[in-house]
Structure 1
Amino acid sequence: MHDDFDSLKWTNWRHYDNANELKRGSMPNTRFGSATQLYFNTIYSGVFLKFLTEMTGVKGLVTDPEFHGGGLHDIPAGGKFGMHIDFNQHPITKLANRFVLITYLNKDWAPSYGGALELWDVDEQTCKVAVEPTFGRTVLFYQSSRSLHGHPKPVNTPNGRTRRSAAAYFYTNGRADEDSSEFHTTLFPVSIKLSQRDRAVNAAKYLLPPVVFDAGRKLKAMLRRR
C-alpha cells in the first residue's frame, strides 16, 4: 500500500494549503493500486461490517466506495491537519457519518518526526490521547460533534519523506442519538481562523464535483501565466 502512493498521478490528488491544513488526499473515485484496493475491499466487506457492528453496537453501517473524504492521505514535511471535527454527513447521499477507520503506513517512523494523531477533550480543549502513526497501526473512532482530533504540530520528516495513511468512513441512514443533524463540512473550532477566501475554497472543494473544482483551478492558473 505504501508504494501505491507513488503510482498515483498528480491529477489523482486534491491539495489543501491554508492556515489549518497542509496536505493532500486522493480524489473521489481514484483507481488505486492492487494492495490498496484489497485493503478497502476487505474493510468494506460484509464480514468486516458485521465485526464493526458487533464491536460498536451500531447497526446498518453503510460504506462509501467512492471515497469522499477517505482514501489515501499524504502529509509532507511541514504539513499538518489542525484540530477539527469531521463533516457530519456524506456530501452526496447525506447519510450520517458514524465512524472513521485510519490505518497508518509509515515504516520506521521516529517520534521526532511528529505527526501524532491527537484526540482532544472538547470541553477542556486539551489532548487526552496521542497516537504515533507507525506502520500498520489502525484507529477506529466515533464521529460526533465532540470528536475533536487532528495533528496540529507540523510533520518534521527528513529527505522528502511524508506521513501516509488510508482512511475509510462508515455511515448510517440517520442516527438515533441527539447529535446535530444540520449539515456541516469539516470544522476547525480551536485553530487559526481562516480567511474568507480560504473558507470559500474549502467549501468549494467539499461541495463541488472534483472535475468542476479542478477545472476552475486550472483555468485560474492559466490566466495567471498570461
Structure 2
Amino acid sequence: METVRSVFDHPVPHLLMIPDFGKSRSQFLEKTACLNADELAVQGWNVVLFDPAGRGDSWGNEDWGGEEHQTEVAQIIDSLSGPVGIYTEGAGLNTALGGAQRSKKAVDFIIDYEGIADPDLILRLPIRPDISADSPFWNDRNGHQHLKDPPCLYHRFQSEIDHNLPDDLRHARRIMRTLSQSKGTLFRLNHHRIGEIPDRPRWIAAGPISARRNLLEALDIYRKDLSSKL
C-alpha cells in the first residue's frame, strides 16, 4: 500500500485505487494514466494505492481478485479514518466489490471504469488466469453476486467503445441487468439518474480524454460532498 497525501493541511476524504488485472499501483502513477494519483491528491484526495498480492511490491502469489485480494482491500478500508471512496478499472471490479462487502467500515461509493464481472469475458483479456469459466475458482470472483446487493453506491462509467473489450459491451449490459434485480437503488450509469435502468443507455464518448473528463467531474462532486462531512 502506498499513500499519496493531499497537499492540504486539513482532513480530506480517502480514495482507494484498485488496479486492473496484471497491473499494480504504478498504473496510477503514470503521467499517461486515465487518472493520476498525484493530480487527485492536488485536487483534495488522500489517495491510497493498492498492490494486490503477487503484484508490484506485494509478496505472495497472484490471487486474481479472489478472497485474499478482497480481504486485503477490506483491511485497508478498515484502517482508514474518515470517508472512503473506491476507484477501480476493468477486472479490478470484483476485488473492489468483494473488499467493500467484507470491510467492517462503510464505503461511501465505488466508481468503476468499464469493469468486468463475468468470468467468460474476463477470459478474453490478455492477462488472465488460465482457468475455465465454469470452474468453482470463479465463485468468489464473480462480481454479480455483490451487485445483487451493492455494498455502497456503485457508479459505473461506460463508453461506447470499451477500453478493454472494444468489440463487446455484453459485460456492461449484464451488469445493468443484475442491478435491475438488485435490492434498492444504490447504482448509477454514467449521467443517468441514480437507480435508473435506461432502455437506451447514454454511453460516454470513446477514448481516454472523454473518460478522464467524466471521471474527474464525478470524483470532484463526490469529494466535495464527503469533505462537507469532515
TM-score range, shorter chain: under 0.3
Which structure is higher in strand share?
Answer: 1
Q: Please report the TM-score for the alignment, with normalisation by the length of structure 1.
A: 0.25
Larger radius of gyration: 1
Which structure is higher in helix share?
Answer: 2
